[in-house]
Amino acid sequence: MRPIRVLVAKPGLDGHDRGAKVIARALRDAGMEVIYTGLRQTPEMIVSAALQEDVQVIGLSILSGAHNAIVPRILELLREKDMADVKVVVGGIVPDEDAAALKQQGVAAVFQPGASLDSIVSFIRTSVGA
Partner 1 sequence: MKTAERQFSTLSGVPIQPLYGPEQVQDLDPERDLGAPGEFPYTRGIHRDMYRGKLWTMRQFSGFATPEETNRRYRYLLDQGQTGLSVAFDLPTLMGYDADHALSEGEVGKCGVSICSLEDMETLFQGIPLGDVTVSMTINSPAAVLWAMYLAVAEQQGVDWARLSGTLQNDILKEYIAQKEFIFPPRPSMRLVTDTIEFGARHTPRFNPISISGYHIREAGSTAVQELAFTLRDGIEYVDWALERGLAIDDFAPRLSFFFNAHNDFFEEIAKYRAARKIWADVMRDRYGARSERSLKLRFHAQTAGCSLTWQQPYNNVVRTSLQALAAVLGGAQSLHTNSLDEAYALPGEHAVTLALRTQQVLAYESGVVQTPDPLGGSYFVERLTLDTERAAQDYIRRIDEMGGMIAAIETGFPQREIATASYQYQREVESGARTIVGVNRFQSDDQPIELLQIDETSARQQTAKLGNLRRRRENSRVVRSLGALRRAAEGKENTMPCLLDAVRAYATLGEICDALRGVFGAYQETSHL
Binding site for partner 1 (CB under 8 A): 12-18, 21-22, 24-26, 28, 36, 38-40, 42, 64-70, 93, 95, 112-114, 116-118
CB 73 within 8 A of CB 43: yes
Measure Cα distances from 129 to 3, 52, 82 in Å: 11, 22, 20
C-beta of 10: minimal distance to partner 1 in Å? 9
In the three-class reduction of DSSP (H, G, I as helix; E, B as strand; rest coil), residue 12 is classed as coil
Measure Cα distances from 96 to 58, 68, 100, 102, 110 in Å: 21, 12, 6, 10, 9
Q: Which is nearer to partner 1, 22 or 130 (CB)?
A: 22
Q: Which is nearer to partner 1, 82 or 93 (CB)?
A: 93
C-beta of 12: minimal distance to partner 1 in Å? 6
Q: Which is nearer to partner 1, 1 or 121 (CB)?
A: 121
In the three-class reduction of DSSP (H, G, I as helix; E, B as strand; rest coil), residue 112 is classed as coil
Alpha-helix runs per DSSP H in 2-129: 18-29, 43-53, 67-80, 96-104, 117-127
C-beta of 82: minimal distance to partner 1 in Å? 25
Q: Which is nearer to partner 1, 4 or 34 (CB)?
A: 34
C-beta of 85: minimal distance to partner 1 in Å? 26
CB 89 within 8 A of CB 105: no
